[in-house]
């Protein structure tokens, strides 16, 4: 495998009342949360897929199937950490990651640095290696109608010397 590798991740979860909204391992105050087999942390799922994709290890559902009851309500921080452990076992480490959350509401800017810190903690890297951004969908499409949230992430990995 080459010395540097790029990975891309994309995930979507739908809003549902009576669920907590957890993004990047941080609980965000909102009137509704995201539905999923796990805690439905759409941002961490996109990042996990980007990490696994960078070393061609499949995706989050390959490692943690949603048919497995042991992952019911799973904390996605643990799924991220376990996935990154597999990346490291392949001999790679994170250079940097850049992610975007597409959500009409809630406004995420006040929570962005807390989310970055939370992700950096799971990946044991400096916060400056973690970029998280938010954008609306300008009221268009399912994200624009506040039916769900989209997250996308890219990562760069380098081979450990």
Ligand X SMILES: C[C@@]1(CO)OP(=O)(O)OP(=O)(O)OC[C@H]1O
Ligand Y SMILES: Nc1ccn([C@@H]2O[C@H](COP(=O)(O)O)[C@@H](O)[C@H]2O)c(=O)n1
Residues binding ligand Y (CB under 6 A): 103, 107-109, 134-136
* CA-to-CA separations, 149 to 41, 43, 99, 106, in angstroms, rounded: 10, 9, 13, 10
Which residue ranges make up the site for ligand X (CB under 6 A)?
11, 36-38, 40, 45, 60-61, 64-66, 71, 74
d(CA 114, CA 26): 7
Residue 70 per-residue DSSP state: G
* 60 marked as binding residue: yes
| Shortest Å, Cβ 83 to ligand X | 11
- Work out what residue 136 binds among ligand Y, ligand X, none; the CB cut-off runs from 5 to 8 Å by kind: ligand Y
Q: Interior CA angle at 161 toward 58 and 57, to 5°?
A: 5
Q: Are 14 and 146 in contact (CB under 8 A)?
A: no
Residue 147 annotated as binding? no
Cβ nearer to ligand Y, comparing 54 with 99: 99
Minimum distance from CB of 80 to ligand X (Å)? 10
Judge whether 128 is annotated as a binding position: no
Say if residue 67 carries a ligand binding annotation.
yes
- Whether the CB-CB separation of 7 and 152 falls below 8 Å is answered with no
Query: Whose CA is closest to 133, among 102, 105, 156, 155?
Result: 102
Nearer to ligand Y, 31 or 89 (CB): 31
Binding-site residues sit at 11-13, 37-38, 45, 59-61, 64-68, 135-138, 142, 145
């Amino acid at each position: 495998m080459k010395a540097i590798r790029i990975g891309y991740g994309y995930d979507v979860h739908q809003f549902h009342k009576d669920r907590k909204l957890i993004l990047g391992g941080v609980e965000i105050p909102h009137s509704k949360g995201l539905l999923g087999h796990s805690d439905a942390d759409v941002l961490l799922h996109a990042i996990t897929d980007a990490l696994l994709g960078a070393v061609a290890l499949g995706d989050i559902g390959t490692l943690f199937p949603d048919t497995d009851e042991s992952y019911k309500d799973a904390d996605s921080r643990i799924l991220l950490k376990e996935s990154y452990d597999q990346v490291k076992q392949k001999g790679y480490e994170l250079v940097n990651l850049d992610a975007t959350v597409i959500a009409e509401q809630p406004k995420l800017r006040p929570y962005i640095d807390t989310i970055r810190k939370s992700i950096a903690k799971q990946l044991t890297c400096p916060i400056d290696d973690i970029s998280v951004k938010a954008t609306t969908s300008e009221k268009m499409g399912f994200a624009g109608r506040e039916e769900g949230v989209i997250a996308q992430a890219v990562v760069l990995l380098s081979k450990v010397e």
